[in-house]
Amino acid sequence: MIGYGKRAWSAKGAWSLVVLLLTLVVLGGCAGAKRISIEVDGARRVVETEQDTVREALEQEGIVLGVLDRTDPPLWDPVTDEMTIVVTRVREETETERKVLSYSRQVLRDEALDEGEARLMQLGVNGEEEVTYLVTYENDVEVNRIPSARRVVQAPVDEIVVIGVSGSLPSVPISGTIAYVSNGNAWMMRGGSGGKRPLTFSGDLDQRVFALSPDGTELAFTRKAESEEDEEAPLNTLWVVGTVLVDDEPRSLGIEGVRYAQWSPDGTRIAYSTVEKSGGRPGWRANNDLWIASADGRGQAEVLSTSSGGIYGWWGSTFSWSPDGRVFAYSDADEIGLLDLSTGETQILLEFPAYLTYGDWVWVPSLSWSPDGRFVACTAHATSAAESEVAAESPVFDVWVLSIDGQVKARLVDEAGMWASPAWSPIYSRSENQQASHIVYGLAQNPLDSQASRYGLYLMDRDGSNATKLFPLHGEEGLEAPQLVWSPWADELVVVRDGNLYLLSLASGALRQLTADAGSTEPQWGR
């Protein structure tokens, strides 16, 4: 009996132990449940959960989060009793709206009008742009709006008012004919600066071409397309106007999309190169061709066929006709050479690293022939760059003289600057016993930042000796990207200074102002 009683007690005790353990498990489970509140989609719900993190608690309740949605507390925080979880719904949308682009007002000075007289040259018209916004909403309430894109639907047209400045300057005697661009029109003066007059009145010269014939009687120029927004319209058109007869009407040569044009040395033909209009900046792509036509635009003959060109070929080459009319000098972003008209063959005179502008433009050297046609003066980039420099980024630009037979390659001026633009004088001078030609050039005041620097103006012999400073001499500011032209008699220069033309005498050093419109540029001088 005693043994039996022990076995009965053991069974009863084991059962009690199982019940106790189950009770502890149930109680333990009840102790792990947490009461929380969830605020989402404009409603509040109170639930019990045994999940460990906020993410898991939301998943338990079937709450799906969007990519931009956020929670407070964050998803990885542990769940605690009486916690409140706030879900913020976030979305982004794009919206567009049209806005007015207000026109600006330009005030131009015009020497064709009496002093103080004002005329409305062009009515101002507001434009329109389409602005795209990125809009952020939180729980369907806008909290942020930022512009993400802009597209001009209709460009504004500036109002242009012209104010007369006639008579504000004394007349300066000049020989030959000087032509120049003033506020989008072609102007000329002959005999004296007081007799200046406009040759065009349309205000649409684009200044890609502005070339006076050697005898000063004809002016070639390019005009902008009538509709720049029209993708089918040409970039520009080539025109000619006479300078002898008053009110001579400009004549279209029927040549479109012109990047370069120049009169032949005898003034009977015109050489030109073309471009195609393209999207994006700069808005055109060079064809790298070369043509020669008669002075009326007829009889067009191809000299160079269309090609992609070399490095930066989309910008195109610069050409310059030799004084004897047999060859062209050309310059690209990385070389200067010759093109023989009779054979079509090219000859490289100088190579150099193309300059990296980090912009939508390309630096190409200007060219100037010696009057005997044996040499070309030019600027070249980084031919002496330091070993530590990246050649394409070098700030060094030098003035060179190159012989057409390839025997002479002389660097005449070190670190002159990218806008040095050396210009060879005509060989004949009205000064007594002066028959040798000279070179005038700009010298950057800050040669290591020559793109933005102002320049002094210097004169030197053809071999680089006897350099003499011409301007500034009396503490004035230097010139911006010098523009200048020799007189046909090599004794005077016309230079552009702060938007006006000045006549500089080499004999006396006198500097006399020719224009007062603050918009004069591209001077040309013919006999």
* Residue 144 and residue 458 in contact, taking contact as beta carbons nearer than 8 Å: no
Q: Per this entry, what is the length of the chain? A: 527
One-letter identity of residue 82:
E
pLDDT at position 16 over 60: no
The answer to which of 232-236, 502-506, 510-514 has the lowest mean pLDDT is: 232-236
123, amino acid identity: L
- Taking residues 498-523, report their average pLDDT: 93
pLDDT of residue 390: 82
Could you read off the pLDDT of 188-218 as tens digits, one per residue?
999 999 888 999 988 899 999 999 999 999 9
Q: ω into residue 422 within 30 of 0, thus cis?
A: no
Domain spanning 92-154: CATH 2.20.230.10: yes
Phi, psi of 448 (to 5 degrees): -90, 0
pLDDT at 387: 54
Q: Does position 421 have pLDDT exceeding 70, yes or no?
A: yes
Instruction: Tell me the β-bridge partners of 24.
Output: none
Q: pLDDT higher for 17 or 489?
A: 489
Quick one: average pLDDT of 434-462? Answer: 92
pLDDT at 6: 44
pLDDT at 26 over 50: no
User: What is the amino acid identity at position 342?
Assistant: S
Position 13 confidence tier, pLDDT thresholds 50, 70, 90: low
Residue 22 pLDDT exceeds 50: no
In the chain, % of residues over pLDDT 90: 71
Mean pLDDT of 344-355: 94
Residue 9 pLDDT more than 80?
no
Query: What pLDDT, on the 0 to 100 scale, is given for residue 7?
Result: 43
Give the bridge partners for 237, in sequence order: 223, 256
pLDDT at 195: 85
pLDDT single digits (tens) 81-136: 999 999 999 999 999 999 999 988 877 777 767 777 787 877 889 999 999 999 99
Q: Look at residue 20 in the predicted model and tell me its pLDDT.
A: 47
User: What is the rounded average pLDDT for all residues in the chain?
Assistant: 88
pLDDT, residue 225, reads 81
Model-level pTM?
Answer: 0.72
Give 157's pLDDT tier (boundaries 50, 70, 90). confident
Task: Report the distance separating Cα 295 and Cα 390, nearest Å.
Answer: 46
In 3D space, the residue among 259, 241, 243 whose CA is nearest the CA of residue 251 turns out to be: 241
CA 201 to CA 187: how far, in whole Å?
A: 10
**Is CATH 3.10.20.90 the right assignment for the domain spanning 30-88?**
yes
What is the rounded distance in angstroms from the CA atom of residue 304 to the CA atom of residue 314?
16
Identify the pLDDT of residue 388.
Answer: 52
Q: How confident is the model at residue 336 (pLDDT cuts 50, 70, 90)?
A: very high
Contact in structure between 121 and 108 (CB atoms under 8 Å): yes
pLDDT band at 167 (very low <50, low <70, confident <90, very high): low
Q: Return the domain boundaries, the chain.
A: 30-88, 92-154
Report pLDDT for 122.
77
- How many helices (H) and strands (E) would you count in the chain? 2, 40
Least confident of 24-38, 206-220, 337-351, 498-512: 24-38
Radius of gyration of the chain (CA): 39
Residue 90 to residue 388: CA distance in whole angstroms: 52
Token duo for residue 203: 């205000």
Cβ contacts of residue 480 below 8 Å, gap of 6+? 454, 455, 498
What is the average pLDDT across 492-507? Answer: 95
